[in-house]
Amino acid sequence: MRKGPMLILLAGILAAVLTWGKSASVEAGQPIGTKESILEFGKGQLLEDSSAAWKWYGGAGEAWADESGLEVAGAKLAKELGLAAGGTLESGEGHRMYAVAEQAAASGIKTTFWLVESGAEGTRSLVLKLEGTGGQLEELALAKKRLGDRLELLGAVGDWTAMIRGSWKANDPADAQAAVQLLVNQAAGSLGAKAINRYREGNSASVSFEVAGESMQAAVHKHSESGIWQLSVGTPLLTGEF
């Protein structure tokens, strides 16, 4: 049976939360300057059509585990984070999710909040997503800092991931292999990044890096019709649900 959009979204969120649970050790409000530097590197590689996003994954905290209902807990937690009331309650494949989305009138930055309940014991996880343009990295970083500090005060523990993508400024590399080598050279020069793994298939390629103790991944793809190279840069990894 084909999954609907909501189930696909929920599956992506749950997969990301499980990945976080295996590796995250950074508390919500801790500044992570290298990740901001990685986004700035990506921005410098892209034309003005770029888009950027931050995502926070983690545990909702003990204070939100004992609420009588997911909708009640979700609405209260969203309010604590400064988000509007009136979220939606969705369910599928044994999981339930309370979601709130709002867009700032002035900046256009979109904030989406999910409180996800899974398993027989009703374990709750929290996901926050901030979306804007590549030209709004400073505003996105301020929103990330504000929400991260608030999450820490609320007892939530997790970590941030980030991504920026758009049309690459590169002068038409001959092929994907040349594109990856160009990326490796540029990342080494700008960030001191060390290439770890490379992958290439047809007009697409990706490379993983280590940057000052952080992981970074970059991927390129040449559009078959327009001939334009698309570039995505993420930390620690590029994930489909962005």
At 156-169, the pLDDT tens digits run 889 999 999 999 99
- Taking phi over 0 as left and psi of -120 to 50 as alpha, with beta for the rest, 39 belongs to alpha
| Domain presence at residue 229 | yes
pLDDT of residue 241: 52
Beta bridge partners of 27: none
Whether residue 8 has pLDDT greater than 50: no
| Domain presence at residue 138 | yes
> Model pTM greater than 0.75?
yes
| Domain presence at residue 150 | yes
| Domain presence at residue 159 | yes
Angle in degrees, CA 163, 159, 58, rounded to 5: 115
Handedness of CA 132, 138, 139, 142 (dihedral sign): positive
pLDDT of residue 2: 43
Instruction: List the domain range (segments joined by +) for residue 107.
Output: 5-235
| Domain presence at residue 240 | no
| Domain presence at residue 10 | yes
Is residue 157 a contact partner of residue 59, using CB atoms and an 8 Å limit? yes
From the list 28, 13, 62, 17, the residue with the least C-alpha distance to 157 is 28
Distance CA 183, CA 188 (A): 8
| Domain presence at residue 44 | yes
Whether residue 224 has pLDDT greater than 90: no
Whether residue 227 has pLDDT greater than 70: yes
Q: How many CA atoms lie within 13 A of 118 on its CB side?
A: 16
Higher pLDDT, 95 or 14: 95
From the list 183, 162, 166, 188, the residue with the least C-alpha distance to 36 is 162
Q: Name the token pair of 231.
A: 């570039």
| Domain presence at residue 184 | yes
pLDDT of residue 168: 96
Whether residue 89 has pLDDT greater than 70: yes
How many helices and strands, by DSSP H and E, does the chain display? 5, 10
pLDDT of residue 92: 72
Handedness of CA 169, 172, 177, 182 (dihedral sign): negative
User: DSSP labels for 18-47?
Assistant: HHHHHH----TT---HHHHHHHHHHHHHB-
Number of domains in the chain: 1
Whether residue 121 has pLDDT greater than 90: no
